[in-house]
């Protein structure tokens, strides 16, 4: 592979793309993968995030084997899990799911785990797991119903998006904010930089 190495983001999440852009990195391609994200029986949140990030990276690597333009690229995959204790909350697609998540999170602490998996051009796998603790205020029924009406929760782990209206529910956050959005930037950039991806190339034009 000649010239600048390429980077593929194995996600269709606009939030993950926006976070990478914030760090001055523009992926060469987005290749979201479709895998079963159902936790296995008794699976703990940390293990679930790690397994799914690796599975997404594996699936993207296999898909790129047939792509002459992108074969040999760096691949970045991630999975975010929201949990209360050992209980993994769903990525809410239905109103009932989102309502249950918000009632469970109301006035309580929860943890957000994001596993990041990087595949190098030599097909080595590097992985990091980041944990953030979040506490929500006590949510009234009016809060919950109005938030459901916003639609922001659709497809989001735990039934909320911290970068939107739900940011006003947060009383306390300990750890990485970008982790809760969906991609811990410090750790992701460290993984890329550790494998000699040119992370600062786009910084010159950032202003």
Q: Exposed, middle or buried by CB within 10 Å (0-12, 13-18, 19+), for 100?
A: middle
Q: Which residues contact 114 (CB under 8 A, 6 or more apart)?
A: 49, 78, 79, 80, 81, 129, 130, 179, 182, 183, 184
Banded pLDDT at 203 (limits 50, 70, 90): confident
Q: What percent of the chain has pLDDT over 70?
A: 97
Q: Which fold has domain 7-195?
A: Maf protein (3.90.950)
The CA-atom distances, in angstroms, between 89 and each of 44, 46, 114, 119, 176 are 11, 13, 14, 28, 19
Q: What is the arithmetic mean of pLDDT over 168-194?
A: 97
Banded pLDDT at 1 (limits 50, 70, 90): very low
Instruction: Say yes or no to pLDDT of 142 above 80.
Output: yes
Q: What is the arithmetic mean of pLDDT over 156-165?
A: 95
Give pTM, 2 decimals: 0.93
Instruction: Say yes or no to pLDDT of 2 above 70.
Output: no
Question: For all residues of the chain together, what is the average pLDDT?
Answer: 95
Which of the residue ranges 76-80, 158-162, 198-202 would you say has the lowest mean pLDDT?
A: 198-202
- Give the pLDDT confidence of 76-100 residue by residue, as tens digits: 999 999 999 999 999 999 999 999 9
Catalytic residue chosen out of the listed positions 79, 93, 96, 205: 79
Structure confidence at residue 171 (pLDDT) = 98
Q: Is 79 a catalytic residue?
A: yes
- Give the pLDDT confidence of 102-136 residue by residue, as tens digits: 999 999 999 999 999 999 999 999 999 999 999 99
Q: Where are the domains of the chain?
A: 7-195
Banded pLDDT at 74 (limits 50, 70, 90): very high
Nearest to 172 by CA among 138, 144, 133: 133
Structure confidence at residue 122 (pLDDT) = 96
């Amino acid at each position: 592979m000649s010239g600048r190495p390429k980077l593929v983001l194995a996600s269709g999440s606009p939030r993950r793309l926006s976070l990478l852009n914030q760090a001055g990195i523009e992926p060469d391609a987005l290749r979201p993968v479709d895998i079963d994200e159902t936790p296995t029986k008794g699976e703990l949140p940390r293990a679930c995030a790690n397994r799914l990030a690796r599975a997404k990276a594996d699936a993207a690597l296999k898909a790129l084997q047939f792509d002459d333009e992108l074969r040999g690229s760096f691949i970045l995959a991630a999975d975010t899990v929201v949990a209360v204790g050992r209980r993994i909350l769903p990525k809410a697609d239905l109103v009932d799911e989102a309502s249950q998540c918000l009632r469970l999170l109301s006035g309580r602490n929860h943890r957000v785990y994001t596993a990041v998996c990087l595949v190098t051009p030599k097909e080595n796998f590097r992985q990091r797991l980041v944990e953030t603790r979040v506490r929500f205020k006590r949510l009234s029924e009016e809060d919950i119903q109005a938030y459901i009406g916003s639609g922001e929760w659709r497809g989001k782990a735990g039934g909320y998006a911290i970068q939107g209206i739900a940011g006003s529910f947060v009383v306390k956050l300990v750890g990485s904010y970008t982790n809760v959005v969906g991609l811990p930037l410090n750790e992701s950039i460290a993984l890329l930089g550790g494998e000699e991806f040119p992370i600062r190339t786009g910084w010159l034009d950032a202003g």
